[in-house]
Amino acid sequence: MPTYKAPLRDMRFVMDEVFDFATGYETHGLTDATPDMVSAILEESAKFAGEVLAPLNRSGDEEGCHIDDGVVTTPKGFKEAYQQYVDNGWGSMTGPVEYGGQGLPASLGLVVAEMTASANYAWSMYPGLSQGCSAAIRAHGSPEQKKLYLNKLVPGTWTGSMCLTEPHCGTDLGLTKTRAVPREDGTYEITGTKIFISCGEHDFAENIVHLVLAKLPDAPAGTKGISLFIVPKFLPDANGEVGERNGVKCGSLEHKMGIKASATCVLNFDGATGFLIGEINKGLNCMFTMMNHARLGTGMQGLCHGEASYQTAIAYAKDRLQMRALSGPAAPDKPADPIIVHPDVRRMLLTMKGFNEGNRALAYYTAQLLDKAHYSKDESVRANAEDQLAFLTPICKAFMTETGLEVTNHGMQIFGGHGYIREWGQEQQMRDCRISLLYEGTNGIQALDLLGRKVLMSQGKMQRAFTKEVHQFCQANEGHATLGEYVTKLNKLNAEWGELTQKIAMRSMQNREEVGAAAMDFLMYSGYVTLAFFWLKMAVAAQATLDAGTSEEDFYKAKLATQEFYFKRLLPRARAHVEALEAGADSLMQMTAEQF
Amino acid sequence: MPTYKAPLRDMRFVMDEVFDFATGYETHGLTDATPDMVSAILEESAKFAGEVLAPLNRSGDEEGCHIDDGVVTTPKGFKEAYQQYVDNGWGSMTGPVEYGGQGLPASLGLVVAEMTASANYAWSMYPGLSQGCSAAIRAHGSPEQKKLYLNKLVPGTWTGSMCLTEPHCGTDLGLTKTRAVPREDGTYEITGTKIFISCGEHDFAENIVHLVLAKLPDAPAGTKGISLFIVPKFLPDANGEVGERNGVKCGSLEHKMGIKASATCVLNFDGATGFLIGEINKGLNCMFTMMNHARLGTGMQGLCHGEASYQTAIAYAKDRLQMRALSGPAAPDKPADPIIVHPDVRRMLLTMKGFNEGNRALAYYTAQLLDKAHYSKDESVRANAEDQLAFLTPICKAFMTETGLEVTNHGMQIFGGHGYIREWGQEQQMRDCRISLLYEGTNGIQALDLLGRKVLMSQGKMQRAFTKEVHQFCQANEGHATLGEYVTKLNKLNAEWGELTQKIAMRSMQNREEVGAAAMDFLMYSGYVTLAFFWLKMAVAAQATLDAGTSEEDFYKAKLATQEFYFKRLLPRARAHVEALEAGADSLMQMTAEQF
């Protein structure tokens, strides 16, 4: 049976030795996040994830959620685990102090979220959605709304949901049909059907705060006519306690490929009372506050399933005896060798390591940017962090999930036929991971966001905010004694990255389809180069420690070997993406719809 | 709801216009396979697949198989569909006339199998396993065994199974523990546990013929001590009719990711009566007769799920309205444009087409080789066909399933969030397809088979049997008016293919791990080049028809556009595989097991 043990040593390597989170906390005046406090939080979180959440992962998948006349029951043990999570203050960790939060750094929240989500992704969605909901209310709510809702959402007493999608519109929110009719008392009457609402109904908490996109009767067409509303399941009374039941009901649960323990709801709003949040017709801006949060979280999903899959796979690869090593028996006393002796099994394991640890470095770097953007006292640091975040968010969302799915696929393959059997949990990791390429904006949408909105619309500014970091790193490490060849390689790719942008920009002036035609390959190229940067950063740190002498030689040598593997066996794929995108739009657009 | 409509026009294009099956049938004296007969069979088979099997595909997945004290019940409608299949003579189509078969060409059998398997893969496994079982008995059985069993298996009155895997051994059959103790009457007493036995127990037929690998008490260690036994579920009586129940019972069914309507059984042999087939300790040779058959069938699985997924996806892409085309509204009268206008949706659709139609051409070429190997009167033709078959079989099995899985993944992605919902059937295609990378020898094993056994052990002879075909085609089409640049490209890749083999052969003399380290990338490279060859053959045929004038311009232009897409956007991946394999074994082997 699979278990999850938080990879604290790997996590601390990135936090402490690659990015130096501690100095960041000092600089930003995050004085509560002392080294001792950080260690205690990581240890306790690892325990909670491994001992409370992980044991519920497979039973949650087998049992799923159930609905009876609009009442949703989550799998056995789920709501008790949530109560424990709330009681122990995990939910409020990074929340603002004025609403009952602990004000700890966003970056630490992300590291802790990695553990809960790796242990049990479906469970982790319930608190995850609340975080996005809180962020939107904090950014756009009135003082009264903040007081009322954040005091409940931040500690986790209530949970949240995001209600965007409708049967006929997912990507294209301009087609929203849900109506919001103003009432005389300043509230709105919300009517419509929302689908695919994660954690839209459940038994975790006494109330659920739905954030709902809807259109006023006289709203302009398209996305310019969308407003955002708070629609609580139970209307709060004068004291902010749960009052009257609101007119929103779960009509059914979706039957899905995976994340079966996460309730995916059809929500019917039938004249429900809604409260406008932010300005009329500016709902999409508010929604993006939640979406950006959710997109980073979804990117993490790729890492989390990948890590869980790797842990089960590496244990199996060391244990399962099958065939002899090509170079002669490695375990002559046993009937066969453990399969980790076989080059192709190692190819899969190293691919898993290469993506997982690279993705973790990318995620933690992004987490550090969140800290900078939230807490830095230097405006130019904040602005630069915002630019880099804007640029890296679609890469995190799409590249980490594409590669995460590949990792879980290898994690099954290493098991042979046993990987296909539910008992081992490897197929669940792949099924659960698969959604991450779809929700919070499909990966194709992320690619358009990256190339169209972020790169081209900012005239390359957001891209340069990041490539400058890469360039500076390459300059600082030029001629590195052992890693010099890789520095040269990265520097070239980094330069090519900018050139590709230029080329696409030129072509798109002739033909707007060129942006869409290049987008996905551009995103994947960006991901491979980004991870090359982080792998090399990790290798430089590892080499320095080895040079200085360490009792953990194996740990650091593994980092160097995985970096080499990444450069030699994964990074070449970047070339295929360049060739593909240089084929241009014609190769995609010449066929008529009828010819398909 | 998804439906399946056999793509007869595409199938006929490959059969008639690319490979000219009809002339082959004439040459081989397969006089029953007249053009009229072939047409009638294809039409009727398309009807059976679309009307009888396809409607049972999703209900079969939802319902699954059930077991009660060793008795397995298949999903509703499954056994009735099998009875119809048998009654209509589909099972016996390619079987030998002397055992009740119709003696039709193997190639036609494969084309028909594409339809049944695309409509309902899980269902198609039951007759599929019988075919492999028949082939082994036909090749290695005694005259009495052939008479007794083939007369039942060929018409489908009884079905078959292949019992290889045990809990501790899948790939490594040398570790087989199942025992066969000789009895005085010449039979054997078979005792042991077999797992993952597809269609090992069910309610389709009155008897099941298990072919079981087991070891005699004094057998040599490893694969040289394995023998093969026929172990019928019911022992035939003197008249060959079902008699006494044999000592084999289904202990349980596996819970799997997909192909849930296919019963995957644990079979317990408890002193069951077995009949030796072939020679003692030569069981593995006999097994390979079944395995090669099964490997081609498993390769087809990649195509079949891919085709089914494409059909659902293309209909959705033309119907689903979401966002506007970047170049301006394509359907201004509608609230949004059909998503087929978006370049990234086309990228996915064309990737699906590129792999599906390329894989179909590869499969049908292989089918034609089966005809040559079975029926040609010219010994050198037979020998060449056998060499090519040996070389192409692992490519079919692994490349067609790897790309098939990718195709089903795109087929989900095109649906956005709806792809993750069971109702649409797209996620089932991906789950069902996933097993094909694992069973009948994992794809890693196929890669070793290709590079180690087929290419290097034959000193390149088997590879050259195929690359010569490619070379001749390139010579014949050198300087082609419109496709010349692609001919040049293919010719270069074909030459490089041989050079890669040389390089790996040299390196493997220094270090045997080099073969394992290069195998998977070599296989994938081989697949990409092989499909490039078939795409160019299709393009040359399409261009010739367009040049001559045709009323089906759209059809042929789509072939040319997809060939161009394949060369420009998929074939570049071959380069990444070359770079990866040139990294050599060190990049995989330098880490100790402990460092992982």
In this model, does residue B76 exceed pLDDT 90? Answer: yes
Strands (E), A78-187: 159-163, 179-182
Q: What is the three-class DSSP state of A475?
A: helix
**pLDDT class for A477, splitting at 50, 70, 90?**
very high
Q: Is A464 on the interface with B (CB under 8 A)?
A: no
C-alpha closest to that of A230 among A183, A163, A169: A163
Q: How far apart are CA A147 and CA A153, in angstroms?
A: 10
Pair A138, A176 in one domain: no
Whether A256 and B575 lie within 8 Å, measured CB to CB: no
Whether B346 and A591 lie within 8 Å, measured CB to CB: yes
**Beta-carbon contacts of residue A258 (< 8 Å; ≥ 6 apart):** A61, A428, A430, A431, A432, A433, A434, A435, B420
Which of B58, B173, B318, B326 would you mutate first to test chain A, the one with the most A CBs within 10 A?
A: B326
Pair A74, A194 in one domain: no
Residue of chain A whose alpha carbon sits nearest to that of B566: A587
Q: How far apart are CA B454 and CA B442, in angstroms?
A: 16
Backbone φ and ψ for A102, nearest 5 degrees, come out as -100, -5
Cβ atoms of residues A570 and A347 within 8 Å: no
Boundary of a domain, candidates A230, A249, A283? A283
Whether A595 and B554 lie within 8 Å, measured CB to CB: yes
Q: Average pLDDT for residues B501-514, to the nearest whole number?
A: 96
Pair B455, B507 in one domain: yes
Paired sense of beta strands B159-163 and B208-215, if any: parallel
Q: Average pLDDT for residues A134-153, to the nearest whole number?
A: 96
**pLDDT class for B77, splitting at 50, 70, 90?**
very high
Paired sense of beta strands A159-163 and A208-215, if any: parallel
Residue B546 falls inside a structural domain: yes
Paired sense of beta strands B264-277 and B226-232, if any: antiparallel
Residue of chain B whose alpha carbon sits nearest to that of A509: B327
DSSP A281-300: T-HHHHHHHHHHHHHHHHHH
CA distance B64 to chain A (A): 14
**Set of chain A residues whose Cβ sits within 8 Å of the Cβ of B58:** none
**Set of chain A residues whose Cβ sits within 8 Å of the Cβ of B431:** 257, 431
Paired sense of beta strands A242-245 and A234-236, if any: antiparallel
In this model, does residue A405 exceed pLDDT 90? Answer: yes
**Set of chain B residues whose Cβ sits within 8 Å of the Cβ of A340:** 593, 596
ipTM: 0.97
Q: Which domain holds residue A174?
A: 159-283
Among A254, A341, A344, the residue with its CB nearest the CB of B447 is A344
Scan for tokens 């789509």, then name that residue. Answer: B558
Whether A165 and B417 lie within 8 Å, measured CB to CB: yes
Of A357, A402, A427, A440, the catalytic one is A440
> What pLDDT does A444 receive?
98
> What pLDDT does A104 receive?
96
Whether B434 and A430 lie within 8 Å, measured CB to CB: yes
Cβ atoms of residues A60 and A82 within 8 Å: no
Residue A82 falls inside a structural domain: yes
Which of A591, A592, A594 would you mutate first to test chain B, the one with the most B CBs within 10 A?
A: A591
Pair A85, A176 in one domain: no
Pair B174, B132 in one domain: no
Paired sense of beta strands B71-73 and A208-215, if any: unpaired
DSSP B301-360: HHHHHHHHHHHHHHHHHHH-B-S--TTS-SSTTSSS-BGGGSHHHHHHHHHHHHHHHHHH
Q: What is the three-class DSSP state of A163?
A: strand
Q: How far apart are CA B521 and CA A352, in angstroms?
A: 16
Residue A51 falls inside a structural domain: yes
Pair B15, B149 in one domain: yes
CA B448-B454-B459 angle, 5° bins: 120
C-alpha closest to that of B12 among B102, B114, B88, B93: B114
Boundary of a domain, candidates B249, B281, B313? B281
Q: How many CB atoms lie within 10 A of CB B532?
A: 23
Pair B190, B127 in one domain: no
> What pLDDT does A286 receive?
87
| Max CA pair span of chain A | 84
**Set of chain A residues whose Cβ sits within 8 Å of the Cβ of B588:** 343, 346-347, 350, 565
Whether B255 and A422 lie within 8 Å, measured CB to CB: yes
CA distance B36 to chain A (A): 28
CA distance A543 to chain B (A): 16
Residue B361 falls inside a structural domain: no
Category of B294 on φ-ψ map: left (φ > 0), alpha (ψ -120 to 50) or beta = alpha
Percent of chain B residues past pLDDT 90, beyond the cut: 96
DSSP A545: H
Pair B112, B238 in one domain: no
DSSP A222: G
Q: Is B346 on the interface with A (CB under 8 A)?
A: yes
* Helix A461-476 vs helix A484-510: crossing angle, to nearest 10: 160
Q: Average pLDDT for residues A306-328, to the nearest whole number?
A: 96
In this model, does residue A288 exceed pLDDT 90? Answer: no
Whether A416 and B171 lie within 8 Å, measured CB to CB: yes
Pair A89, A200 in one domain: no
**pLDDT class for A280, splitting at 50, 70, 90?**
very high
> What pLDDT does A459 receive?
95
**Set of chain A residues whose Cβ sits within 8 Å of the Cβ of B418:** 170
C-alpha closest to that of B145 among B83, B90, B211: B211
Radius of gyration of chain B (CA): 24
Q: How many CB atoms lie within 10 A of CB A183?
A: 11
**Set of chain A residues whose Cβ sits within 8 Å of the Cβ of B554:** 592, 594-595
Residue A278 falls inside a structural domain: yes
A265-284 burial, b at 16+ Cβ within 10 Å, e below that, comes to bbbbbeebbbbbbbebbbbb
**Set of chain B residues whose Cβ sits within 8 Å of the Cβ of A409:** 405
Pair B12, B131 in one domain: yes
In this model, does residue B177 exceed pLDDT 90? Answer: yes
Q: How far apart are CA A325 and CA A328, in angstroms?
A: 5
DSSP B19-60: S-HHHHHHHTT-TT--HHHHHHHHHHHHHIIIIIIGGGHHHH
Q: Average pLDDT for residues A451-459, to the nearest whole number?
A: 96
Q: How far apart are CA A392 and CA A367, in angstroms?
A: 11
Q: What is the three-class DSSP state of A512?
A: coil
Q: Is B456 on the interface with A (CB under 8 A)?
A: no
User: What CATH number does residue A40 fall under?
Assistant: 1.10.540.10
Scan for tokens 């520097």, then name that residue. Answer: A491
Whether B317 and A165 lie within 8 Å, measured CB to CB: no
Q: What is the pLDDT of residues A546-566, one digit of tens each?
A: 999 999 999 999 999 999 999
Residue A367 falls inside a structural domain: no
Among B419, B420, B595, the residue with its CB nearest the CB of A558 is B595
Q: Is B493 on the interface with A (CB under 8 A)?
A: no
Q: Average pLDDT for residues A5-11, to the nearest whole number?
A: 98
**pLDDT class for A291, splitting at 50, 70, 90?**
confident
CA A226-A229-A233 angle, 5° bins: 140
Residue A403 falls inside a structural domain: no
**Beta-carbon contacts of residue B254 (< 8 Å; ≥ 6 apart):** A421, B195, B196, B264, B265, B266
Residue A401 falls inside a structural domain: no
Q: Average pLDDT for residues B149-176, to the nearest whole number?
A: 95
In this model, does residue B1 exceed pLDDT 80? Answer: no
Among A346, A520, A587, the residue with its CB nearest the CB of B564 is A587
Q: What is the pLDDT of residues A48-106, one digit of tens each?
A: 999 999 999 999 999 999 999 999 999 999 999 999 999 999 999 999 999 999 999 99
Q: How many domains does chain A have?
A: 3
Q: How is residue A35 written in tokens?
A: 């080294």
**pLDDT class for A434, splitting at 50, 70, 90?**
very high
DSSP B259: -
What are the counts of helices (DSSP H) followed by strands (DSSP E) for chain A? 20, 11
Whether B344 and A568 lie within 8 Å, measured CB to CB: no
Boundary of a domain, candidates A248, A283, A318? A283
Pair A84, A180 in one domain: no
Q: Is A440 a catalytic residue?
A: yes
Between residues 168 and 187 of chain A, which touch chain B (CB distance below 8 Å)?
168-172, 174-175
Cβ atoms of residues B505 and B456 within 8 Å: yes
| C-alpha dihedral sign at B556, B562, B568, B574 | negative
> What pLDDT does B288 receive?
83
Percent of chain A residues past pLDDT 70, beyond the cut: 100
Whether B350 and A588 lie within 8 Å, measured CB to CB: yes
Q: What is the pLDDT of residues A237-266, one digit of tens each?
A: 988 999 999 999 999 999 999 999 999 999
Backbone φ and ψ for A404, nearest 5 degrees, come out as -60, -45
In this model, does residue B162 exceed pLDDT 80? Answer: yes
Backbone φ and ψ for B163, nearest 5 degrees, come out as -110, 90
Q: How is residue B165 written in tokens?
A: 């895997």
> What pLDDT does B109 receive?
96
C-alpha closest to that of B120 among B299, B262, B283: B262
Residue of chain A whose alpha carbon sits nearest to that of B558: A595
Whether A420 and B257 lie within 8 Å, measured CB to CB: yes
Between residues 495 and 554 of chain B, which touch chain A (CB distance below 8 Å)?
511-513, 515-517, 519-520, 554
CA distance B521 to chain A (A): 10
- What amino acid occupies position B583? A
Pair B106, B214 in one domain: no
Q: Is A40 on the interface with B (CB under 8 A)?
A: no
Q: What is the three-class DSSP state of A155?
A: coil
Q: How far apart are CA A125 and CA A82, in angstroms?
A: 11
DSSP A223: G
CA distance B482 to chain A (A): 16
Residue of chain B whose alpha carbon sits nearest to that of A441: B416
State the burial class of residue A489 (Cβ atoms within 10 Å of its Cβ: 0-12, 13-18, 19+). Answer: middle
**pLDDT class for B399, splitting at 50, 70, 90?**
very high
> What pLDDT does B49 receive?
98
> What pLDDT does A439 receive?
96
